[in-house]
Chains A and B, each alone.
Chain A
Amino acid sequence: MSVTDRNGKPVADVVVYATPRGPAPAKSDPRATAVMDQVSRQFKPRVLVVETGTLVEFPNSDAVSHHVYSFSAAKRFELPLYRGTAYSPVLFDKPGIVVLGCNIHDSMLGYIAVVDSPHFNFTDSKGRATLTGLAPGDYAVQVWTPRSREDLAPRRLRVAASDDAAPVVDFQFEAKLFPPFDPGQGSLTWSDY
């Protein structure tokens, strides 16, 4: 898979996932767990992809407390003011994009992409991502990045049993992307109150 911006330049850190068409295969049990950490007043990773039905832990590795919340339709929840691992993992049982915030540190921003598939990956610095373990069949391939202002239409991918070379799907964003995340190591102390 490859992802480029409107000028044809590769875009890194884009989520690419393939959802099987037709009846979904049975999910593995016990449930998978994933971790969204909080380090140096940032969510780590900034973007996490999980399959629908995954439990996500939200440890706080900072010395200061965080207050994690989301008002996204895919998951509304709140973990009031805590340090360390104060709460049990949170179940993400609906597909969609969950935007995470911290009510104490408003500049903290994280995302959980909940997808109906175990086949996902991120693009590398060349804008390329490889999906492995795809059984023969029809898939809808989709991409997502918080930098995008648009939803690109899913592309169809057919994996045949006899394929030697993996098929390639190309995506191109048409609208200008938001700039990549910059943790901001400048000379200023920003005014907040």
Chain B
Amino acid sequence: MVRLLTPTVIVGLAWAGVTTAAEHSEDRHHFSLQLALSYTSASTPLVSWTEGGVGKLRYDENNDGFTGARAFAEYRGQITPTLSVTAIADYVDDASAGLDLTEAYLSWLPVPKSPNRTQWRFGAFYPPVSLENTGTGWSSPYTRSYSAINTWIGEEVRVFGAEWSMRRRLGGPASPHRLRFLAAGFYGNDPAGTLVTFKGWSLHDRQTRLYDELPLPNGNALRPFLKIDQQPGYYAGLEWRYAKLLLIRAIHYDNRADPNEFSGGEWGWDTRFNHIGTQVQGPWQLGIVAQWLQGNTVWILGATPGGQIVGSGPLISTDFESSFVLLTRQLKGHRFSVRYDDFDVSDGTGQVDNGHGWTLAYQYKATPRITVGAEWLSLDTWHPRWSFLGLNPSATERQLQLGVSIRLGK
């Protein structure tokens, strides 16, 4: 039973679902290609974390110019009227190139027999933390680079398990109040917390695929979704919605990993977080998205992901916290968005990663299939340990991206 929900089995099941559903006429598929011209500058010579450095952005000064940021395909198909399959395959333009899945799951929506409506998901998926990544392929409709919180969710958080949720309209079928409970049990995601501890928070749009190996600044590699121990993790949450004006969702996540366990080249990192987020439709067509996340991970000193067992050191507790507020306004085909991010990582020795950032973005939907946009991002950060690397511990990183997104499919 424990072995039942391995990534391979889940992806296999999802694939079987895709092939079954592909014969149905109710399927939907999107294909999206995102290209950009990217220019980065930093006040100290930083190498992007995607190349094993400590730079917080996806690109550094050595990658200026054309980038094939992302190509993804999202497929949703009905297997039966109440059972559907979703699979998202991603191609990214970096060292871990190739095609891989970011999510693959089955959704079961039994037809309601009472005012309570239940929904199940089985497979590999994101916990519903992000209120920003509401586009296809978990992209953001507002900016190209995600907030620090959702960049981290994209980097290190994915579960292999089952999720149950139930929504209820409060006060009758016409009431604008809707309450939703959700709970999930999962395996895997035991090394979550490694990257935010070693690298700190980031702002970019690279989502880790299910089998990706990520570079760590210490030269090792990380596979954040591995199952290290036999203890299942869980998350649970509550959501309140008022018509199309307000949504508030709170979630508690705990991977219940054992920091003394080592398997497949990775250590368990006992990571938990609390999250609360809101979406508000304000006056003057102004949309507001805000999220706050506070977490903690307990890990064993000497843990070298991807390396030898040199553990048995003391357990270290690292705290991480971030928040952001995003304002967005859509006027016909034009969308303007601005976001302020704030973040912090600290352990027993004090702060190890601290900073804030501004993101300004403009998008224009030139045709139903083509969106062009520009994004400017500025990050001011402070990391006392960077002085060991010969870097200035106080850094400013700036990035300008001019991009185009092309969508195909129905």
Contacts and interface: CB of A to CB of B under 8 A. Distances in A.
Interface residues of B, number: 40
Given A81-B81, A103-B82, A146 B174 contact: yes
A69 interface: yes
B173 A146 contact: yes
A64 B328 CA distance: 28
B112 interface: yes
A190 B239 CA distance: 13
Contact of B281 (A64, A99, A106, A186): A186
Contacts of A64: 28
B138 to A, nearest CB: 10
B283 to A, nearest CB: 11
A188 B26 contact: no
B141 interface: yes
Nearest to B132: A191
Contact of B176 (A106, A179, A188, A191): A179
B5 interface: no
A149 B172 contact: yes
Given A103-B112, A109-B173, A191-B279, A186 B285 contact: yes
Contacts of A65: 26, 78
A67 B81 contact: yes
Interface string B88-117: 000000000000000000000101111001
Given A80-B81, A187-B330, A189-B135, A109 B174 contact: yes
A167 interface: no
A81 B26 contact: yes
Of listed A111, A146, A189, residue having the most chain B CB within 10 A: A189
A182 B173 CA distance: 15
Interface stretch (B185-193, B243-251, B396-404): B243-251
Nearest to A185: B285
A184 interface: yes
B174 A71 contact: no
B141 A103 contact: no
Interface in A44-97: 63-65, 67, 69, 71, 78, 80-81
Contacts of A101: 112
Contacts of B175: 178
DSSP class of B's interface residues: helix, strand, loop or mixed?
loop
Interface string B273-285: 0000001010001
Interface string A162-193: 00000000000000001100101011111111
A191 B247 contact: yes
Given A186-B281, A186-B285, A186-B287, A81 B78 contact: yes
Contact of A71 (B114, B121, B286): B114
Given A81-B26, A179-B176, A187 B167 contact: no
Contacts of A107: 244
A188 B287 contact: yes
A191 B131 contact: yes
A27 interface: no
A111 B128 CA distance: 31
A69 B111 contact: yes
B329 interface: yes
A184 B244 CA distance: 6
Contacts of A21: none
B263 interface: no
Nearest to A145: B174
Contacts of B350: none
B314 interface: no
A155 interface: no
B77 to A, nearest CB: 11
Nearest to A100: B173
Closest 8 CB pairs of A and B: A184-B244, A146-B174, A187-B287, A188-B287, A80-B81, A81-B81, A186-B281, A189-B134
Given A184-B244, A187-B286, A193-B128, 5 more contacts: A64-B28, A109-B173, A186-B281, A186-B330, A187-B330
18 contacts: A63-B410, A67-B82, A81-B26, A103-B111, A111-B173, A147-B174, A184-B243, A184-B244, A184-B281, A186-B281, A186-B287, A186-B330, A187-B285, A187-B335, A188-B289, A188-B328, A190-B247, A193-B121
Interface of B: 26, 28, 78, 81-82, 109, 111-114, 117, 121, 128, 130-131, 134-135, 141, 167, 171-176, 243-244, 247, 249, 279, 281, 285-287, 289, 328-330, 335, 410
